[in-house]
Structure 1
């Protein structure tokens, strides 16, 4: 047999079938191998996996908290609606029965905190109970929320305890509270009547009257959501790339034993997938660990019950696959820039410079999308999706611009001190990891600047000057009925109160001209104010005044309104004070305006308004004759006296617990606007905390990868302080560049959004505090990372396995 015959296969030998497993089976095996590398890669593999899972877990925790917000708000609205009484919303009067009660709002303030409450007087033996109250408190008793009980038992609550004056006999359960830290009480009364401002109700619970959200606020809310969530997504994408250098060296070893490039990428995807899945579990565990602690945390006067922190199932179903898909996509994209060969990873060659043109497409596209939204007005129906998409494109575009900017700046850095040279060389070799570490803070600062610009631009629409003059009077006390006795008690009681420098009280009502109803169907009507001469001088320019005088007050520049006052207040003719009920029959009460009444000009009073109509002294008209009147005291306090306002509130509660005490302010904020501002502060605080934690994890991961290099430098005599300064510089430089980019991007985004809502830029310098916050975060992170750096510079870092 020849050699050729020996090489030829026998004719009778059957061909060997080539077994090719299915593609899905192959991919599953490669992904499983990646999971094995993540779990069985020794100490280094587990450290990388744990860092990735911790980073992803922090982001998932915040996403789960954000997904719980709808349930928290719904539960809060349900509790608020459950304790609403029908009479408060203008429903038909409720007849008295054994199952009704009379109530009045007894809300007060204590050192800036709102203390909500009601006075209750049951009409029979089966009154309705407020939510969370197990038993109706008797006269002189009250049930309080746990937070209020704690305050009353503390030394700091002594003045409030004196003001409320009732004995605590029970606790309001969670069903009757908006949040765990709410201060609220229900007190029993045996003197409350409808004549004193009380309302009768047959039960609690009513649909809340919700006003539509202002379109401007919709724009602001959408922007806030984007600003708070985009940094979280970027941080999760960054965490997936922790330990990339060691992973690439493992993949090079696989290439050496025959794996192709596609298979190494699938293995890397499996490793990232496992870390992300573990991060989901870590995030869920952290969420469950933080959840019981939420009730004891109150940020910017906002808290929540732990039981209400339930993520929306639809959002959870979106978060879980989004995190897993993002982990795979980010890993595959990262591997495109790395050449993994059997003999190593090609990183030593000079990399190709990053291109700028495509990085500009994202922010330009975002601005274009926002420009297509058009003008948003107060009556415009706002579509939130284009606004959210445009803002996301602009902010994500900043993260793509940052690596190019860092690379372009550090490329020309030469010379300088040794720490600076070490930092510059490190950034020149690997600027991508440094850029990724600060991308989250760049987006957060840019978004915060844009939000603050829009917030400031809307300021004038939601904050109005009310004209109150705290330099003349800073507190007003009102009762829902008129009484000469109450007026005098207010005047005397407040003048003797500690910290009060002046106090005046008046009784106010309306008067109508008697006679047939005119053709237009409206009888001439004006106000009637009764007070002493000292009081009336605060309301009008009086030439002279004595008890028994009357005046007709006009407002300068309002001729039509003054003519209407003169139609009602005709000197020498009667006016109708109102109707008293005698045996259930309305009986009109008439009073003749003296012919000697003089016309005077109104002045702006401490409440910020000018009062026209009839001004009378007690000698001319007894306030007791005024049905449906209002008694009001105006008070000025000495700001140098501590708790002067609290002493005034205590005096008001002692005179009549149904009085309302209000402090004067120069401005008044819209409630929706204020609540959005509160949400911005709470969310911004949480996001900044996450960014600080993420940067710390990223910093430690980078130091761990350079442990051998740090040990070599120390072994050659490099001082540790030099290495510490180099770490600071190589972290601070990308942060400074990222902050500059964030300022430019934030100002641009804010200007575009303000142009959308036709508002002007109120302040171009709003970026200063946010830029300072970013720099403060990096200084804090660097300081906290110094102890791990010191440990990594030990000689044992030269050991190798």
Structure 2
């Protein structure tokens, strides 16, 4: 057989797909819609690396606070930048205050000109929020006049909330606000730090991509088989005009090729539409601009070639057990039972590929990406291979029951393969989700740590600018709606020398009620001074004998390279009292140390050298209590910093991967739901004459509806059970590979299977209205 004959037969099948009457083009459109949904998600997936790269580049290009520790001298091309980030409800708001110091000061990316004092330029999303009723509370905090918007080049996403505001007098605060304020002559990090790759994190990323893409690939393979039974009956007519069985199969492959190529067109249109919608959507606080979603040309070409090729191969594979004769299609005779041995080889081979990496953990280099990909793919493909055998083996043993049950069981016994194909995608998705859930739960403790904060005593922290009076600021915070208590302190650092101190320790000033929150005091009255002994980390007070009465200590000593400061000596008093540290309020690990003073004991010369800080206990039942506190803090001063405490915190890179999984899973679940609905409608369309005949003979619509539900429920239950077994196995192996003890979060496993079952239930309910329309006696009419 030469290539020209193959091509001629395939093209004949393409013609039949579009000129074979209503049945032909209906099947082609259904196939195209199914394939198109899969192709759109594949294109979206191939565009994700590009989107993440662009977001990273945009973030790096606008970098300004570099934590260099050195102050750049003022010049005609310098700019003072202060970080004035805030939060609004659950959203982060990126903020910068700008003070240009010369005509050549660098403009931030996306900004055309500097805002003046009392003015600001904002992102489009923030402008929309501030102008809406929902942003009224935030508007109190950002009262500056909006004079422009930040361009796309200065934002990492379409939904990002960001602003630049004009300011003056920032330069005088650089020394005391390093880390929050900096003088720069260009935007962008001049010395980006490359982080060491984390093998476990890379493994997570690799498995996430495989798990998200496998259901898509399986659905595309299922979509090209839509309308198979009616297509085969049409092909039987070709045998009457002289075509042999091989030619007939090639023509069938041509029909599938036509549907898949049309599916590429649909998929491209779906992707372009979704690309535009992505510019207006935010999923798990992640947003992008449409221009970010540019698929890699090589990967897009791979999709364009692989999808039609897969359509042809899948069709030829599906027809291997079908005998198409001139007078009909032999399907309903007794079929040979499916063999189990080769189906078991797939998951066993997958486990064999993963086995050499068991116990690698983080200390033995990166995991072999080819073995990981191959092993996970084979295990998940094993679900699609085993499920038809399991469905066939189970339904063949099902017997008596109601009419609806018997109709469903008999249908499954005649076409168990079709029923299994419908739920293959959801079964693979659930298996992968269970494995990922186990892996994330197992390594979560490696990337999540306790902050040590005692959130029962305080829930927010406010750092005051140096010019803000502590008592007046604390009183404003106490008067804020929803604030129950405020513990305010002045903090500094004492050294044994005015310059180049050898020993140094912390100094904390506060009233007795506040000091009791951070240390165990024997007794306290205004005028007392305490030395905290027994701190876990800072032992300078004891090792350097700094608490010796009569010893002179200096506030905020200058170190090598620091500008000289006036001496501010303080003599350790004779009536110094001892205290023990109390963990929890500030940090459970780095507990309180050094000297504690009450206000009356503090020298007047210390007032200008201490940093004010307040810890707030709030009533979370008060609506927007945190934003009320932030508004009060903003009124105290531009450089007031507000932080909301939490008990746990996660590593940023791990959090990005975790969020990416949620975003991808949401997209895949939407695809699976849509694909199952298309598949269900295609099945009902093929059986409309049978349904009409049953209704004409007196079968109740309720009975037929229940039979359809049973036909969906039986395979999905078997599929979810198989998915749970494979998912638990894969999850256990992945945990062994990372050197993590194997544990099963049964609540998570049940939630994954429950989500899968819920998707199927929703799809089945959505298919009931068209089912009722098909169950009419008029459906028997034939032109």
Q: 2:141 aligned with 1:163, yes or no? A: yes
Q: Deviations over 1:213-242 (max 9, x none)?
A: 422221111111111100000000000111
1:205 pairs with one of 174, 183, 188: 188
- Over residues 226-272 of structure 1, what are the superposed CA-to-partner deviations in whole Å (9 max), with x where a residue is unaligned? 11100000000000111111221222222232222221121111111
Structure 1 range deviating more: 310-319 or 560-569 = 560-569
**Residue aligning to 1:509:** 492
Deviations 1:662-691 (A, max 9, x none): 111111111112111111111111111111
Separation in 2 of the partners of 1:299 and 1:42?
A: 43
- The DSSP-based 3-state class of the residue aligned with 1:503 is strand
Asked if 1:468 is matched to 2:460, the reply is no
- The alpha-carbon distance between structure 1 residues 486 and 195, as it changes in their structure 2 partners (threshold 3 A), is farther
The alpha-carbon deviation at position 114 of structure 1 amounts to 0.7
Residue equivalent to 1:700: 681
Contact 1:480–1:629 under 8 Å retained in 2 = no
Structure-2 residue corresponding to 1:798: 780
Give the stretch that moved more between structures: 679-688 or 127-136: 127-136
* Alignment size in residue pairs: 771
Q: Does residue 669 of structure 2 align to residue 688 of structure 1?
A: yes
What is the rounded CA distance, in whole Å, between the counterparts of 1:361 and 1:603 in structure 2?
Answer: 60
Q: Which residue of 2 aligns with 1:422?
A: 407
Cα deviation for residue 557 of structure 1 reads 6.6
Distance 1:515 1:792, change over 3 A: closer
Displacement, 1:580? 7.6
| 1:63 maps onto 2:46 in alignment | no
Task: Indicate the residue corresponding to 1:17 in structure 2.
Answer: none
Aligned pair 1:177/2:155, yes or no? yes
SS at match of 1:661: strand
* 1:544-600 deviations in Å (ceiling 9; x for gaps): 223332111023677x9266455333321111323589x975444322221221221
Q: Secondary structure at the match of 2:601?
A: coil
Uncovered stretches (5+) of structure 2, i.e. residues with no partner: none
Give 1:112-261 correspondences, 5 Å limit.
Answer: 112-192=90-170, 193=172, 194-195=174-175, 197=177, 198-206=181-189, 208-261=192-245
Q: Does the Cα contact within 8 Å between 2:76 and 2:103 map onto a contact in 1?
A: yes
Q: Map 1:319-338 onto structure 2 (within 5 A).
A: 319-338=303-322
The aligned counterpart of 2:389 is: 404
Deviation at 1:302, TM superposition (A): 0.8
Q: Which of 638, 660, 674 is the matching residue for 2:619? A: 638
What is the DSSP-based 3-state SS (H/G/I as helix, E as strand, rest coil) of the residue aligned with 2:439? helix
* 3-state SS, counterpart of residue 353 of structure 1: coil
Q: Pick from 64, 75, 99: which aligns with 1:97?
A: 75
Deviation at 1:725, TM superposition (A): 0.9
Please report how far the alpha carbon of residue 112 of structure 1 lies from its aligned counterpart in structure 2 after TM superposition. Answer: 1.3
CA contact (8 A) 1:370 1:386 kept: yes
The alignment partner of 2:157 has SS state of coil
Aligned to 1:15: none
Deviations 1:772-800 (A, max 9, x none): 11111111111111122122222232233
Matched residue, 1:596: 575
- What is the rounded CA distance, in whole Å, between the counterparts of 2:182 and 2:37 in structure 1? 50
Q: Give a deviation string over 1:720-739, Cα, whole Å, max 9, x none.
A: 11111111111111011101
Are residues 579 and 602 of structure 1, via their aligned partners in 2, closer, same or farther at CA, if it must alter by over 3 Å? closer
Aligned counterpart, 1:23: 2
For 1:429-480, what per-residue CA distance to the aligned partner results, in whole angstroms no more than 9, with x for missing partners? 1111110010000000110011001010011111111221121111111146
Q: Structure 2 vs 1, CA of residues 785 and 508 (structure 1 numbering), >3 Å: closer, same or farther?
A: same
- Residue in 1 that maps onto 2:735: 754
Cα distance in structure 2, aligned partners of 1:345 and 1:50: 24
After TM superposition, the structure 1 = structure 2 runs for residues 12-91 of structure 1, keeping only pairs within 5 Å, are 23-85=2-64, 87-90=65-68
Taking a change above 3 Å as real, the CA distance of residues 746 and 46 of structure 1, as seen in their structure-2 partners, is: same
2:783 is equivalent to residue 783 of structure 1:
no
CA contact (8 A) 2:260 2:307 kept: yes
Indicate how the Cα distance of structure 1 residues 764 and 665 shifts in structure 2: closer, same or farther if over 3 A, else same.
closer
Deviation, structure 1 residue 53: 0.7
1:11 corresponds in structure 2 to none
Q: CA deviation at 1:715?
A: 1.1
**Partner SS, residue 387 of structure 1:** helix
Change (3 A) 1:212 1:463: same
Of 419, 423, 429, the residue aligned with 1:434 is 419
From 362, 366, 389, the counterpart of 2:346: 362
CA contact (8 A) 2:540 2:546 kept: no
- Find the aligned partners of 2:199 and 2:231 in 1 and give their Cα distance: 49
**CA displacement at 1:153 relative to structure 2:** 1.3
Q: Using the alignment, how far apart are the partners of 2:381 and 2:610 within structure 1?
A: 61
Q: 1:509 to 1:563 in 2, by over 3 A?
A: closer
- 2:646 is equivalent to residue 662 of structure 1: no
CA contact (8 A) 1:474 1:636 kept: yes
Q: Distance in 1 between the 2:151 and 2:498 partners? A: 56
Looking at structure 2, the residues matched to 444 and 132 of structure 1 have their Cα atoms a distance apart, in angstroms, of 41
Cα pair 1:218 1:384 within 8 Å, conserved: no
Please identify, of 686-695 and 264-273, the stretch whose mean Cα deviation from structure 2 is larger: 264-273
Q: CA deviation at 1:318?
A: 1.3
Partner-residue secondary structure (3-state), 1:51: helix
2:374 corresponds, among 389, 399, 406, to 389
Aligned residue number for residue 571 of structure 1: 549
User: Which residue in 1 is equivalent to 2:756?
Assistant: 774
1:491 aligns with 2:491: no
**What CA distance in whole angstroms lies between the structure 1 residues aligned with 2:183 and 2:514?**
34
CA-CA distance at 1:196 after TM superposition = 5.2
Query: What is the match of residue 272 of structure 2?
Result: 288
Q: Which shifted more, 39-48 or 773-782?
A: 773-782
TM-score, normalised to structure 1's length?
0.93
Within 5 Å, give how 1:608-757 maps onto structure 2. 608-609=587-588, 610-622=591-603, 625=606, 629-757=610-738
- Measured in 1, the distance between the counterparts of 2:367 and 2:608 equals 48
| 1:291-302 aligned within 5 A | 291-302=275-286
How far off is 1:532 after superposition? 2.2
- Aligned residue in 2 for 1:540: 519
Counterparts of 1:605 and 1:348 in 2: how far apart (Å)? 73
Comparing 133-142 with 425-434, greater Cα deviation is found at: 133-142
5+ residue gaps, structure 1, are: 1-21
Shift of 1:760: 2.2
Q: Is 1:528 equivalent to 2:510 in the alignment?
A: no
Q: Give 1:628 shift.
A: 6.6
Q: Structure 2 vs 1, CA of residues 106 and 565 (structure 1 numbering), >3 Å: closer, same or farther? A: farther
